[in-house]
Amino acid sequence: MNQLADTAGFDRRASWMAEHLAPRKLLALGQWLVTFGLCAFLVVPVVMSIMAGLTVNYFRGISSGLTLRWLVQVWTQYHGSVFLSLEVAAATLAVTLLTGVPAAYALARSKTRWARIVEELIVLPIALPGLASALALIVVYGGITAFRMSVWFIVVGHVVFTLPFMVRAVAAVAASADLRTLEEGAASLGATFAQRFFTVVLPNLKPGIVAGALAVVTLSVGEFNLTWMLHTPETKTLPVGLADTYASLRIEVGSAYTILFFAMTMPLLVAMQRLGGGQVELMRRADAAHGAADKNE
């Protein structure tokens, strides 16, 4: 009897597994297939574009041979755009750090309705098309010829576009760090406002500052719409140069420029991804520590 019961129980478990696990495996397999299909849909064109910049003749393919001729040609003609893009990104980062970090700190500490209104106004440029923001800058400041023809005109446009990302990143960290409590503790020990800001506030805001800085630099290097409206023949940045190469109707040259663009932007994207993973790990450890402390209490 016991053997019959065990056999019946085994049969029931096997039947349940066949009914429930098989559909789950099929669902998981379908999800993987869809994921790989989407990755291929996105990655294959990028790979083909890179290969086009390394082949002698795109229409003949790899059989025409591989060459660095197009990369050398692009670097010779547009290396000035590369350095100009880096200069614009560095200047944009400096301005957003000097203005965005204090603004985010003030907004995080303030609980008034006006602070929320200011926060929404800062984010407003993200909701507007880049062309609209550029047109507004031209209408207001275009009459100042020296400013209009200088690279600082593009920097101002990039600051308007990227400042919300710096403010949001820093404000989010400031809100979660409970800076008010930390500052009150430092003040009770006799620390001045400057000492509290540089020794307590900034170290706690570091993850948000780094994340915001990477976002600002990446967006500044790759921004096209706003830059295209604001640039002059003497202030041509990397994305504008990329558009010019594709307008030349020589796909090998445009693809070689794309390789150059990837070489600049991919390290920034990888750094941002690693930073994001590090922040998630830090938050997980902090939550675990708080949980352990609560249990001990």
pLDDT score for 249: 61
- Residues β-bridged to residue 66: 55
pLDDT score for 155: 92
The number of CA neighbours under 13 Å toward the Cβ of 68 is 4
For the chain, 297 residues long, the average pLDDT of each consecutive 10-residue run is 49 56 70 84 81 81 80 83 88 92 84 78 80 86 86 91 89 76 74 78 83 87 85 83 73 81 77 60 46 46
231's torsion region: left (phi>0), alpha (psi -120 to 50) or beta?
Answer: beta
In the chain, what are the domain boundaries? 2-52, 69-296
In whole angstroms, give the CA distance from residue 170 to residue 40: 35
- For residue 221, give the nearest of 265, 178, 256, 188 by alpha carbon: 265
Burial class (CB in 10 A: 0-12, 13-18, 19+), 89: buried
DSSP letters, 101-165, are: HHHHHHHHH--SHHHHHHHHHHHHHHHS-HHHHHHHHHHHHTT-HHHHTSHHHHHHHHHHHHHHH
Helix (H, G, I), strand (E, B) or coil at 55: strand
* Lookup: tokens for 122: 């800062």
pLDDT score for 285: 47
In whole angstroms, give the CA distance from residue 292 to residue 297: 9
pLDDT score for 88: 92
pLDDT score for 22: 62
pLDDT score for 5: 47
- For residue 221, give the nearest of 239, 202, 203, 205 by alpha carbon: 239
- The single-letter DSSP state of residue 63 is G
By the 8 A CB rule, do 94 and 86 touch? Answer: no
pLDDT score for 125: 79
Class of domain 69-296: mainly alpha
- Residues β-bridged to residue 55: 66
pLDDT score for 158: 92
In whole angstroms, give the CA distance from residue 258 to residue 276: 26
Helix (H, G, I), strand (E, B) or coil at 66: strand
* Lookup: tokens for 145: 């010829």
pLDDT score for 3: 47
In angstroms, how far is CA 30 from the centroid of its own chain?
30
pLDDT score for 9: 53
